[in-house]
Amino acid sequence: MPRAQHIGTTYALFDTAVGRCGVAWTARGIARVQLPEPDDARTRARLLAGVADAEYGTPAGAARRAVALVTAHLEGKRADLGTIALDMSAVPAFHRRVYEAARAIPSGGACSYGELAARLGSPAAARAVGQAMRRNPFPIIVPCHRVLAAGGKAGGFSANGGLDTKARLLAIEGVALPRTSATRGLR
């Protein structure tokens, strides 16, 4: 008997220059991306947190292309991540607006939470922008690492490794964070 076609969320783990990442996708597009955790089990657990019916699979079509683009980007190669379709069906409306605005920040560029809020027409919403970035289900594709605190300071970063990871992702793009007590010792 042929197996029924899976129509929910499919996921895979894949190797990159920064470690083993994860991706989950639906028929609508990429639903989640996960930066590396200390091991595959934790990467998978964070990737699938809140996803009810995910099934492991091999990326094909648009998902395969997205994995290739993310992998190339993390190797420091030019990759147009803006062409990757995202499934934002589970994302609140304000966060969608924030993520769309963040995707417009070019590789090698950065802006502050306040600047991003102003671009959205909500200059007093810098903290809300920060919360959206903290909950970003699409890191790298939605480049939350390019959003900094006022004065070019690192701000926060919720991925494993925190500010070290943020600094590493920015360094891949040729951006160096200013040396502060929060970034002292970062490469």
What's the Cα-to-Cα distance from 132 to each of 11, 62, 103, 113, 161, rounded to whole Å?
23, 25, 13, 10, 19
User: Residue 144 catalytic?
Assistant: yes
Cα angle 153, 137, 28; round to 5: 140
Which entry of 144, 147, 154, 170 is annotated as an active-site residue? 144
Cα angle 180, 185, 187; round to 5: 105
Other C-beta atoms lying within 10 Å of the C-beta of residue 55:
11
Helix (H, G, I), strand (E, B) or coil at 55: strand
* Residues with a known catalytic role: 144
